[in-house]
Chains A and B, each alone.
Chain A
Amino acid sequence: MSTNTALDQLFVKTRSENRAALIAYIPAGFPSQAGCHKVIETLAKAGVDAIEIGYPYSDPVMDGPTIQAAATQALENGTGATEVFAALKHACDQGVAAVVMTYWNPIEKYGAAKFAQAIADNGGSGVITPDLTIEESDEWRVAVKTSSINPIYVVAPSTKPERLAKVTDQCGGFIYAASLMGVTGARSGISSGAGELVARVRKVSDKPISVGLGVSNREQAKEVAAFADGVIVGSAFIKAIQDAPDEQSALAAVAHLASELAKGVREAR
């Protein structure tokens, strides 16, 4: 991949600092349009290296109850492509690398080429597509190449070796390694499958690998940062916002969690 996105540059930097990057997920339009933008500012200030803007979708089969509830709320807030791109741009304006994470159908409906170009135009680095298989991505491949953004695919513990090579070959920016077989959501412990999967990916690719699913605190971030290039945290931020009585305390909780996680990714090696 001959891209040079902010995400590509981020991993050059974090590798030179011998640490993992901290990547936070927040759905556009959650808890509100303005609230989402404030969360983004808070995340960036508290030491998050990159932000994934979630495109809320009506049928999120990869997501557990926490993100489902956030997506429902975001949709009720009228979130669509316009709001997603606005949140993406806002994240980039804070000086962090930013990508969109979305199920495939919103891209298909928007038009693959147009969507990829809108990502680039708003300063975004790429798109994570958790339900787009490489077999179905011919059109998308052309689109991301034309717009010079990173296509980020997910690999899972069940992905067989020969397929792992094929999928990771298509990835740009980083490879998204799902730590376990299951949906998004906080877990009490990190699955042993995470380390094994990262080790298997290392054998077939030298691209940065970020681990997602189930990371929710400093200890877990530290544990994952020992072997991965990036640590992705989503549900824990959303839960912190959902559990807070008001916006002020929600932002304080986000700031606290982000700074704890930022320490976690720095004390691993």
Chain B
Amino acid sequence: MLDSKLVIDGLGHFGPYGGRFVPEALIGALEELEAAHSSALLDPIFQAELAELHRTYSGRPSIITEAKRFAEHAGGARIILKREDLNHTGSHKINNVLGQALLTKRMGKSRIIAETGAGQHGVASATAAALMGLECVVYMGEEDTKRQSLNVARMKLLGAKVVPVTSGSRTLKDAINEAMRDWVTNVENTHYLLGTVAGPHPFPTMVRDFHKIIGEEARAQVIELTGKLPDAVLACVGGGSNAIGIFHDFIKDADVRLIGLEAGGDGVETGRHAATITGGTRGVLHGTRSYVLQDENGQTVESHSISAGLDYPGVGPEHAYLHDIGRAEYRAITDAQAMAAFALLCQTEGIIPAIETAHALAGAIQVGNELGPDATLLINLSGRGDKDVQTAANYFGIPL
């Protein structure tokens, strides 16, 4: 039904979304990156190197786990978890950073910069930089450095420099602004290792290409286990990288529902949320056209979520397009719903998920109850919750 690449032209558009809204100074670097990515896709040596890293460093392929006790609370539907939480560094993020770090070397650059919210992408970037001998600077909102001090320490242990960002709202969106300012200034020797499927072309397609292995593996694993395709694939959506990663190989399977779960915060109706597709409007942010949380003058509105990794007022342009054409559905999950699902997975399966991921699990409870015991749901368990222990303990009133 659809071109599986979903890029309508050579300029990185997904229907009306995507494209390149950046200072002219960055065009050269984006063209260079696009060329490096395109040639790497066709280069068997590059692909073999990446595959070897997946196998011997990240721990791919990640396994699938059937969550039978959790499923009792999800209408009795079969619940299958794709275990990206078992990857090295604890989430799907490693897939993208290894790919982009290899591209950095391919372009002859020696320095990477990255933005991070909760710290997962920052830790993954610092990890890849250490592995490949690259200088690494991570921009992190000052607020987030305080909330996630453990991850700041992890990045420093890995040899990265962490720069607290004090401008704007001092969170993820401002960390991206600061990373872009660094990039404009140091583009000669620096690659901006963007952590999600947003930003200017080629980032949305390139980051997707590095994550689509999640869906490719999971599709084969589910068929092997159940003998058929799942009825629905679910993933949490902030910028949307883990969701695109697991969705992509199923886009061609028209009968498989693709369901993205956004961060509903206190509830979309309260205005305190990060559900960009559910509660946002079309706009341009951080170099791409997509849905954006914005006011009547086009100023970005601050997002709110218990999950730092989903706390972003934009979303990848491919998701905006999949939404508009009706190929994927997006729902908002409140903080309370996510935390209930978080606790449930801990206590029924012995798996502590990331709070980001808990949004997808809350979606699985909803959809499982809607579809009943005949349905099979595949959920991307995008990250583990070690980093969230303090937040969760505070939330549930467990004294530390």
- Show the binding face of A for B, using Cβ within 8 Å: 57-62, 64-65, 68, 72, 75, 80-81, 104-110, 130-133, 135-136, 153-160, 163, 167, 178, 181-183
Contact = CB atoms under 8 A, between A and B. Distances in A.
Given A133-B20, A181-B184, A60 B25 contact: no
A255 B187 CA distance: 37
Interface in B19-39: 19-25, 27-29
Contact of A105 (B25, B167, B187, B283): B283
Given A160-B28, A182-B184, A135 B11 contact: yes
Given A158-B25, A183-B185, A109 B283 contact: yes
Contacts of A58: 168, 299-300
Given A80-B297, A105-B285, A110-B298, 6 more contacts: A59-B300, A68-B168, A131-B22, A154-B24, A156-B25, A158-B27
**Which of B19, B23, B289 has the most C-beta atoms of chain A within 10 angstroms of its own C-beta?**
B23
Q: Which among B28, B173, B296 has the highest number of chain A CB atoms within 10 Å?
A: B28
8 contacts: A59-B173, A104-B284, A105-B294, A106-B297, A131-B22, A131-B23, A163-B27, A183-B184
Interface in B222-252: none
Contacts of B24: 130, 133, 153-156, 158-159, 167, 178
Interface residues of B, number: 36
Contact of A159 (B20, B28, B167, B300): B28
B354 interface: no
Contacts of B19: 133, 135-136
B307 to A, nearest CB: 21
B21 A133 contact: yes
A132 B21 CA distance: 5
B343 to A, nearest CB: 36
Contacts of B287: 131
Interface string B300-320: 100000000000000000000
A145 B251 CA distance: 41
A104 B21 contact: yes
Contacts of B282: 108
B177 A181 contact: no
Contact of B23 (A59, A81, A154): A154
A65 B25 CA distance: 19
Nearest to B18: A136
Contacts of B27: 133, 156, 158-159, 163
A105 B292 contact: yes
A152 B168 CA distance: 27
Nearest to A133: B20
Given A108-B298, A109-B297, A110-B298, A59 B168 contact: yes
Closest 4 CB pairs of A and B: A109-B298, A156-B25, A80-B297, A106-B298
A178 to B, nearest CB: 6
B180 interface: yes
A86 to B, nearest CB: 14
Contacts of A104: 21, 284
B284 A72 contact: no
Residue among B25, B284, B292, B294 with the most chain A CB within 10 A? Answer: B25
B181 interface: yes
Contacts of A131: 21-23, 287
A61 B188 CA distance: 18
